[in-house]
Amino acid sequence: MNGSTVTEFVFLDFSGSQSAQLFILTLVFTCYTIVLVGNLLIMVTVWTEPNLIHCPMYFFLANLSLLDISLGSVAAPKLLTDLLFSGRTISYGGCMAQILTFHLFAGVEMFLLNVMAYDRYVAICQPLRYTTIMDRQRCLGLLILCWIGAIIHSIFQTTVTAQLPFCGPNVLDNFFCDITQVMKLSCSDIHVSEILLVFSDSVIIIPCFLTLLVSYTTILVTLCGRFGKGSRKGLSTCGSHLMVVFLFYGPIAFVYMKPSSSNQVDKMAAVFYMVVTPALNPLIYTLRNKEVKGAMGKLKNKCIHFLLPQ
């Protein structure tokens, strides 16, 4: 036992008028619906279209959609329930589960974005070796490594937090169990734990970000030296990937890498990277990708013929 007497945590409400609360409820409900429907549609489209599922880029895209659904589901259902029924509490076990699943899915997505950058690097900078390097076995191996790395990271983060004693207070000024705020409620010295968590985050975030920076810089330099339709298509694809990377890293960096902040601003930023970003990803990939839109058109026609047989 870690000496904790706290059995539940209490979330503070979003401050503001009833109309502001209604706006947040509407925003979260709309975005979470798009997260579920949009990403599920991408997954079904990729898995039912042979030309897409056998292409590494779309294989990783389908897995990214699965992660967006998972990441969006960490806090959104609980937040919607709290806003509708004025519930504000979460059990100690539920809080630790949120910390574990958030760092798990966010970690896998962080690694997967790097794998997708590597895939584009090989496709554009070494096109003659692309099919040899990015074969199905290599793709599956890279995906498994993403999950292994994220599992280790999330278990470490959760274990460091769970071993701390919590004796009260138990109020979190957020809508989910943010690990930095949970640790501040501990009734013991958290200095060593904070160092461990910062080290764990740095080992993952800094190399991943630098890898993305080097990969896309190399890709853009290579594409700028070429002309033609293939070059424009490559720029469009990389543009979509870079937009997703910015939407993923930007809000997280805003919350965790600045010295001081307004809790209300941080909560809205958390809503963005927990719910809004997973909702924008399917829109980015479908609106900017002719292959995905074409496959969705075929899927729609199949569904129409199935529901309305001639």
CATH for 8-307 (1.20.1070.10, 3.20.20.10, 1.20.1440.130, 3.20.20.70): 1.20.1070.10
Condensed to tens digits (0 to 9), the pLDDT of residues 15-63 reads: 666 777 788 889 899 999 999 999 999 999 888 888 888 899 899 999 9
pLDDT over 60 at 230, yes or no? no
Are the C-beta atoms of 295 and 285 separated by less than 8 Å?
no
Torsion of CA 239, 245, 247, 253, to 10 degrees: -140
Q: Of 37, 32, 12, which Cα lies nearest the Cα of 76?
A: 32
| Sign of the C-alpha dihedral computed for residues 242, 247, 251 and 254 taken in this order | positive
Are the C-beta atoms of 119 and 60 separated by less than 8 Å?
yes
Condensed to tens digits (0 to 9), the pLDDT of residues 172-226 reads: 888 889 888 899 899 888 889 888 888 888 888 888 888 988 888 888 888 777 6
DSSP 80-105: HHHHHH---EEEHHHHHHHHHHHHHH
Distance of CA 296 to the CA centre of its chain: 23
Q: How far is it, in rounded angstroms, from Cα 277 to Cα 243?
A: 10
- Least confident span in 39-43, 96-100, 208-212, 259-263: 259-263
In residues, how long is the chain? 310
How large a percentage of the chain has pLDDT more than 90? Answer: 36
Mention every residue, 6+ apart, whose C-beta is less than 8 A from residue 154.
Answer: 99, 100, 101, 102, 103, 104, 107
- Residue type for 108, please? V
Mean pLDDT of 149-164: 94
Strand order in the sheet with 171-172: 89-91, 8-11, 171-172
Beta strands 8-11; 171-172: pairing state? parallel
Where along the chain do its domains lie? 8-307
> Which tokens go with 288?
């900017």
pLDDT at 104: 96
β-partners of residue 90 are 9
Are the C-beta atoms of 300 and 49 separated by less than 8 Å?
no
pLDDT over 60 at 228, yes or no? no
Torsion of CA 243, 102, 117, 43, to 10 degrees: -80
> Which tokens go with 104?
């798990």
pLDDT over 70 at 260, yes or no? no
- Residue type for 211, please? T
